[in-house]
Every structure is written in structure tokens, then in C-alpha cells.
Amino acid sequence: MTLKTRLRYLGQRILFFLAILGPGLITASADNDASGIATYSMAGSVYGYGFLWVLVWITLGEVVVQEMAARMGAVTGKGLTDLIRERYGVRPTFFVVIGLLLANFGTATAQFAGIAAASELLGVSRYIVVPLAAVGLWFLVLRGSYHRVEKVLLALCLYAVGYIISAFIARPPWKEVLYHAVVPDFRLERHYILALMATVGTTITPWGCAYLQASVADKGVRMEEYRYTRLDVMFGAATGNVVSAFVIICTAATLYVAGIHVETAEQAAMALAPLAGQGAKYLFSFGLLGASLLAASVLPLASTYATCEAFGWERGIDRTAAEAPMFYRLYTGQIVLGTLIVLIPGIPLFPLMWLSQVANAALLPVVLYLMLRLANDIELMKQWRNGRFTNIFATILAILVSIATLSLFVGS
């Protein structure tokens, strides 16, 4: 085989791989939203590189959980809350949907706060950028086909480049980074456990499971082609958490070393300027803007999918307003409400953002329990039900998150 032939073959494989990317990468990238970046910035500034080992294990957990959701979407052609309603009735479905809506409310609003913060860091008023962004997101999702929306959301995933470059500008000690990624540094402190839960809550999310399964079903993925979706899920989880690691590395190499603790992503961006230069500040700000735009599209979609499935309403981006009126109304309402809240002068959003991540982590064991029952249902999943490793790992994850949640209440 000649060099030219090899290069052509390699190019074809790369194009094929890019063509299969979709729900998995979008879901994992949307996890690194404004709240997530705030959480990682806080972790890096307070605990340095000591939080990197958490991301290694969370990556494995995210792959296991998201693959389970994607497989159920491909096998059944239905979303998560749709299956919960069919199998277990209205009460469990109502509980899950209410939990998702409450947890997502703060997180979705945080995305518009992220857009506002990033725009003002870049020198543009929030009263101009936030309404324009809201109209653009509304028009994109409710006036486009699924495949067109997917392409735009995949393009928004490129925000990650800003954080990667920022971390290299900070020049961290890479040997120390590698050491903390491998060696656990767990602390029995209430604030540490709260930060740990917020990290889990912003990475392995109930809304992410609901959105991924619904989008796989909406995309019409069949089991004959599911191996490509599995690859998309694995690549997305790995890529998303590598970006999360770079946010921690960037803030640990600059803010932690200087003894500066931050609570928000915009505070991190401002603090970076005197330590790593204006370039790092603007890259961090561009990353925040891209991440917030992506998550502001996906999070309301996740809530809308889950609610429509729970009540048996028609849903889907490819459907018209006449075919799925509640789908359109719910999505529009969330966009409008999130925009209006962010435009209120002086409203404190950080507590809402932080607690929404903890709420996600507290809801996760319930969602995992129901997912495990569904994914092991022989009648429902047939030969594609869970394997032993998936069951063991997901069960251990649910138990650990439950213990952490209980420890917070006891500590309070």
C-alpha cells in the first residue's frame, strides 16, 4: 500500500468517525456547562490538582451510565421517562420528572448567566447578548431538523479548545498533574464532599441520561448500527472529562498557587488575567460562552423531552408545532424564563447553580436504580440487556452517591 493510499484511507476513516459523532459527544460536552466550569474552577482553586483523580473514575462511570441510556434508546426507540411511565406507572415517573425539572431549573438558568458573564468579560452588555442568544437558540431548535440542530451543537463543542490552550499557557508541572490523576486524595470534610457531589452532579447527570436516550431514539438509531453510537458515547465521555481536567489544571496552576479561591467561572477568568495574561482570560471567557450556549440549547431540551414523554405528549425536533404543541411551548417557556431571570439586576445566581448540581447528584441514585431495572428487563431489552460489569459498576456508583448524600444531611 502506497503512502498516498494510506493517507486517503486514513482520511476516510477520520471523516467516517466524525460523521458518527452526535448525541454522546453533545451530551458529554453540555455537561461542561457554566455550572460545571464554576464547579471545576472552584475545585482547582481550592484543592489544586487533588481533584483530578475524581475525573478519572467519573469518566468510567459516565461511559457505563450513558452507554446504558443510549442502548435503551436504540433498542426501544423510546425515552427514559416514557419507559418508566410504561413499566412502573405514574407515581415514579412524576417523582423523576419533578426532580429533573427542579434540578434543571437552576442549571438551565445558569447557562444564560454564563452567557451574560462571558459577554461582559468580552466587553459586551448582557442586555444585548442574552436576548439575541435566546432568540437564536429558540430559532435553531424549534425551526430546524434534528440533523441540522445536531451539526450546530457539534460545532459548539469546539469551545473546549479555549480551556485546553489556557491550561498550557499556565505551564503546570505535568509530573504533579499525572501523579494526582492516578493517586486518590480523598478528604473526610463536609465542603470536600459537597464539592465531590457537585462534580459528580455536573458530570453524570439525570438530565444527561434522559437527553441522550431521547436523542438516540429521536435520531432513529437501530441496533444494527449501535456500535457507532457506543463509540460516540465513549469518545464523548472521554473528551468531555479531559476538558474538565484542563479547567482544573488551569485554575490549579494559577489560582491555587497564588492562594486565590473562586466560586464562579467569571471570577476565575478575571483572576487569570494578572497571573497568566489577558490571553488566558479571553480564552477562558470564549470557552464559557461556547459552553453556555451549548448547554442552554440542550438542558431545556432534556426537560422538554422528559416531560412530554411522562405525560404521553408528542415530542421531537423533527415534528411541527401543530404535531407537538406542548413540546414547543415547554421549550419556549424555559428559554424565556431563563432569559428574564438573568436580566434581573443584582440577582444572586451562584447558590442556585451550586445547589442544582448537588440536587442532580441526589437524584442520580433514583434514576440509576430505575435505569438498571429497565436495562435488565428481558422482555424489554431481550439479548441487549446489561452485562455483569455494567450492573456491578452502576450499583456501586449509586451506593457511593447515596452515602455521600446521606453524609451531607447528617453533617448538617
Write down all domains in the chain, each with its CATH number in brackets. Answer: 22-411 (1.20.1740.10)
Q: Does residue 69 or residue 353 have the better pLDDT?
A: 69
Segment of 15-24, 196-205, 329-338 carrying the highest mean pLDDT: 329-338
pLDDT tens for 82-121 read 899 888 888 888 888 888 887 777 777 878 888 888 888 8
> Residues 6 or more apart from 226 whose CB is under 8 A from it?
70, 71, 74
Site of grid cell 504533579: 176
Q: Is the pLDDT of residue 70 over 80?
A: yes
Angstrom distance (rounded) from CA 59 to CA 65: 10
- Say if residues 35 and 178 touch (Cβ distance below 8 Å): no
Nearest to 329 by CA among 310, 341, 314: 314
* 280 — pLDDT class (breaks 50, 70, 90): confident
Compute the C-alpha angle 295/234/212, nearest 5°: 45
Q: DSSP characters for 150-182?
A: HHHHHHHGGGHHHHHHHHHHH---HHHHHHHHH
* 354 — pLDDT class (breaks 50, 70, 90): low
* 412 — pLDDT class (breaks 50, 70, 90): very low
pLDDT given for residue 351 in this prediction:
60
Mean pLDDT over 182-203 rounds to: 76
Q: What stretches of 22-173 show up as alpha helix (H) in DSSP?
A: 23-31, 34-47, 52-76, 80-88, 90-121, 126-142, 146-156, 160-170
Q: Is the pLDDT of residue 169 over 90?
A: no
- Say if residues 275 and 255 touch (Cβ distance below 8 Å): yes
Angstrom distance (rounded) from CA 195 to CA 50: 12
> Residues 6 or more apart from 319 whose CB is under 8 A from it?
327
Predicted TM-score (pTM) of this structure: 0.79
* 145 — pLDDT class (breaks 50, 70, 90): low
Neighbours of 224 (CB within 10 A): 7
Angstrom distance (rounded) from CA 19 to CA 288: 26
pLDDT given for residue 409 in this prediction:
55
Nearest to 235 by CA among 37, 14, 24, 1: 24
Beta strands in 297-389 (DSSP E): none
Rounded to the nearest integer, the mean pLDDT of the chain is 79
> Residues 6 or more apart from 346 whose CB is under 8 A from it?
none
